[in-house]
């Protein structure tokens, strides 16, 4: 398919250059094709279970679903359970889910994203919804959907190609996926009492940065995914990522531009500074970036952010594809 496309497109490009000599050949990636329909189905399945808010049965059921899916794709799954408290003192039981491929390998790449969903639609236009849990299709669901599809692609590659698969030919390279819990239960904007600080967000990654799922765990670098499935989404180079892991930002943005997703990964100087799970990974000594979706029209959080509209209706397969294919390109070009 791809090769045929190049055969058709190249003469057109040459014609467009007025018959001048072609000095560059089209880049052909070695990575498999990320299946956005598959990623989308994983987002839909999480949403169908119900909002994954702390201390709920849907939360627990979805944790089991995620762990089972990663196991289906050949991963070793670690559960990191811990207790924490919300801004108002409510005790919560957290579960960070860590899925590892090529567990013995010393060089590792870490992908992460939160799997809990926000217990309150506190940015909804209707005040009546401000205390209602959200589906978190984009905010939570999309990152897990992309990570599951990345794992499935690595597993499928291994099933199909055996000894010549990516994982088999890179025995010193491992890939980890961490699904953070309790990221999105930070102090609601309507709260009149309790802690309103930044430390009320990202409780799962805060715990992990102090105590890894495996003693001494480290990775070459980390890529945290957040809101990677929205409509009219663009990713800017976020400032904390630029401060702590500029080479990782460069690597990911270059990969996206190489394979034709430059429109999604912008080099414009608009990236804000976001308190997200990548901060904790950096605090733990692993350079980590945040690939966080913003609204292409105003550069702010997506319009559905922390509203009842953050549901499966507003998930874009094109955005899932752009992010997922870029991550496969990053993996497949790792030495």
User: Which residues would be at the binding site for ligand AHN (CB under 6 A)?
Assistant: 139, 184, 186, 198, 201, 226, 274-276
The residue among 96 and 153 lying less far from ligand AHN, judged by its C-beta, is 96
The residue among 304 and 325 lying less far from Zn ion, judged by its C-beta, is 304
**Applying CB under 5 A, which part among 141-149, 184-192, 291-299, 326-334 lies near Zn ion?**
184-192
The residue among 177 and 201 lying less far from ligand AHN, judged by its C-beta, is 201
Residue with the CB atom nearest ligand AHN in the bound state:
275
Distance CA 117, CA 114 (A): 8
* Nearest distance in Å: CB 239, ligand AHN: 13
58 binds, among Zn ion, ligand AHN, none (CB under 5 to 8 A by kind): none
51 binds, among Zn ion, ligand AHN, none (CB under 5 to 8 A by kind): none
User: How distant, in Å, are the alpha carbons of 99, 143, 171 from that of 148?
Assistant: 10, 9, 21
User: How distant, in Å, are the alpha carbons of 14, 163, 184 from that of 115?
Assistant: 47, 33, 9
* Nearest distance in Å: CB 202, ligand AHN: 7
122 binds, among ligand AHN, Zn ion, none (CB under 5 to 8 A by kind): none
The residue among 123 and 158 lying less far from ligand AHN, judged by its C-beta, is 123
Question: Which of 184, 238, 276, 329 forms a contact with Zn ion (CB under 5 A)?
Answer: 184
Q: What phi and psi values does residue 33 have, to the nearest 5 degrees?
A: -85, 125
**Applying CB under 5 A, which part among 20-28, 122-130, 132-140, 229-237 lies near Zn ion?**
132-140
Distance CA 220, CA 286 (A): 7
- Residue 196: CB atoms within 10 A of its CB come to 14
* Nearest distance in Å: CB 41, ligand AHN: 22
Binding mask 86-125 toward Zn ion (x if CB under 5 A, else -) reads ----------------------------------------
* Nearest distance in Å: CB 8, ligand AHN: 41
Nearest CA-CA partner of 229 in 95, 72, 44: 44
CA angle, residues 151, 152, 155, in degrees to nearest 5: 90
As a whole number of Å, the CA-based R_g of the chain is 20
Size of the site for Zn ion (CB under 5 A): 2
CA angle, residues 109, 210, 173, in degrees to nearest 5: 15
Q: Is 290 in the site for Zn ion (CB under 5 A)?
A: no
> What secondary structure letter does DSSP report for 172?
T
Contact 22, 13 (CB under 8 A): yes
Contact 291, 281 (CB under 8 A): no
The residue among 65 and 180 lying less far from ligand AHN, judged by its C-beta, is 180
- Strand stretches in the chain, DSSP E: 76-85, 91-101, 107-114, 173-180, 221-226, 233-235, 288-295
What are the tokens at 82?
């811990």
* Nearest distance in Å: CB 203, Zn ion: 13
* Nearest distance in Å: CB 184, Zn ion: 4
Q: Is 139 in the site for Zn ion (CB under 5 A)?
A: yes
What are the tokens at 261?
């997703």
> What secondary structure letter does DSSP report for 150?
H
Chain residues binding Zn ion by CB under 5 A are 139, 184
């Amino acid at each position: 398919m791809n090769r045929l496309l190049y055969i058709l497109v190249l003469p057109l490009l040459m014609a467009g250059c007025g018959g001048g000599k072609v000095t560059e050949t089209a880049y052909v990636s070695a990575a498999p094709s990320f299946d956005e329909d598959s990623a989308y189905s994983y987002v839909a399945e999480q949403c169908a279970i119900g909002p994954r808010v702390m201390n709920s049965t849907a939360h627990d059921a979805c944790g089991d679903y995620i762990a089972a899916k990663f196991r289906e794709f050949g991963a070793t799954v670690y559960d990191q359970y811990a207790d924490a408290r919300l801004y108002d003192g409510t005790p919560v039981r957290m579960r960070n889910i860590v899925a590892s491929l090529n567990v013995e390998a010393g060089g590792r790449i870490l992908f992460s994203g939160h799997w809990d969903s926000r217990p309150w639609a506190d940015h909804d236009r209707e005040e009546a919804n401000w205390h209602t849990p959200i589906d978190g299709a984009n905010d939570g669901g999309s990152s897990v959907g992309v990570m599951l599809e990345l794992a499935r692609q690595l597993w499928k590659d291994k099933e199909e190609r055996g000894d010549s698969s990516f994982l088999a030919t890179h025995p010193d390279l491992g890939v980890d996926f961490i699904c953070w819990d309790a990221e999105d239960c930070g102090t609601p904007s309507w709260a009149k009492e309790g802690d309103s600080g930044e430390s009320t967000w990202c409780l799962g990654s805060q715990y992990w940065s102090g105590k890894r799922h495996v003693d001494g765990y480290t990775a070459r670098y980390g890529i945290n995914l957040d809101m990677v499935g929205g409509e009219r989404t663009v990713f800017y180079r976020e400032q904390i990522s630029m401060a702590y892991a500029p080479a990782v930002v460069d690597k990911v943005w270059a990969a996206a531009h190489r394979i034709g997703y430059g429109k999604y990964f912008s080099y414009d100087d608009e990236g804000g500074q976001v308190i997200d799970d990548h901060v904790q990974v950096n605090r733990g000594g692993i350079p980590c970036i945040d690939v966080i979706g913003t609204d292409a029209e105003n550069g702010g959080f997506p319009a559905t952010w922390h509203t009842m509209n953050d549901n499966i209706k507003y998930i874009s397969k094109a955005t899932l594809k752009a992010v997922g294919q870029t991550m496969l390109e990053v993996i497949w070009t790792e030495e």
